[in-house]
Amino acid sequence: MITVIVPAYEEEGIIGDSLTHLLRSKEPAGAGKDHPVEVIVVPNGCSDRTAEEARALAPDFAARGWRFQVTERAQGSKTAALNAGIAAATNPRLMFMDADVHVSPGLVAALAHAVDRPEPTYAGGQFRIRPARTIASRLYARFWPRLPFMAQGVPGCGVAAVNAAGRARWDQIPELTSDDMFIRNHFAPAEMVAVPETYSWPIAEGFGALVRVRRRQNRGLAELGEKRPDLVRNAGRTAPGAGAALRLFLRDPAGFLTYAAVAVTVRTPLFRLRGRWDRDRGAR
């Protein structure tokens, strides 16, 4: 069966909703008393009630017959939390899920089925961005999914699954910001499977927060290039060419200009990063 690993940093008021959506999931084929779904939440470096909020749902997971554990770590590190979750997992198939993701009812079952094969496989669903409050975030959220990297293939943002053969391709996830790209780029396009089921997550609110998130993404890719240049080469082209950029502009000028303004501002000293793992959600 499959183990869902949820690293969590300062997710009070958020983790409960995400786990509640997970509880509404359809049972994957083959799951049951002898082969239950397993959920491992790993709060790391939290100063709030993330762990307590997650543990409050333990009876609900038990009622479903799913294994459930919350393993706290003092160190604030998503990669260390992922490594701890992987080490604790008892199932050969793994699903990585950000703590602010809301899965649709069929996603877990679809991903479990997609990676149920002997050859190395990576699988992801169809992401949706939840409605934003600020104009900048609404425009950015409207445009960003149209970029070729996001619209084609399996980007794996926020949720991804691998099987045992795929997991065997790395030992430990190194300490870097772009953990999702580290995992994804171990797989060739032919080894990736996109399932039609959806999931959603919130976008950073406000122009400054968008800049900080984009800066962190750029830093993550730079770190990955320094530590594992072979994985960056596997990623392929992420930016649109001139022709694609023109088509994107003509389709959505306001979204394009917002995205471009964020990209330009990232190169300035404005809106410095607050912390390595801060998601810059703004007011909750």
> pLDDT tens for residues 15-49?
999 999 999 999 999 998 889 999 999 999 999 99
pLDDT (average), residues 81-103: 97
CATH number at residue 260: 3.90.550.10
- Is it the case that residue 284 has pLDDT exceeding 60? no
Give domain status of residue 276, yes or no: no
Per DSSP, the three-state class of 244 is helix
- With b for 16 or more beta-carbon neighbours within 10 A and e for fewer, the 194-208 pattern comes to bbebbbbbbbbbbbb
pLDDT (average), residues 69-73: 97
Give domain status of residue 270, yes or no: no
**Residue 277: CB atoms within 10 Å:** 17
Model confidence band, residue 97 (pLDDT cutoffs 50, 70, 90)? very high
pLDDT (average), residues 190-194: 96
Give domain status of residue 282, yes or no: no
**Residue 258: CB atoms within 10 Å:** 23
Percent of the chain past pLDDT 90, that is, above it, reads 79
Give domain status of residue 280, yes or no: no
pLDDT (average), residues 226-240: 75
Residue 244 or residue 207, greater confidence: 207
pLDDT digits (tens, 9 = 90+) for 118-168: 999 999 999 999 999 999 999 999 999 999 888 888 998 999 999 999 999
Model confidence band, residue 275 (pLDDT cutoffs 50, 70, 90)? low
Residue 173 lies in domain: 2-265
Give domain status of residue 281, yes or no: no
What's the number of domains the chain is made of?
1
**Residue 75: CB atoms within 10 Å:** 9
Percent of the chain past pLDDT 70, that is, above it, reads 94
- What's the pLDDT score for residue 236? 58
- Check residue 138 and give left, alpha or beta (phi > 0: left; psi -120 to 50: alpha): alpha
Give domain status of residue 273, yes or no: no
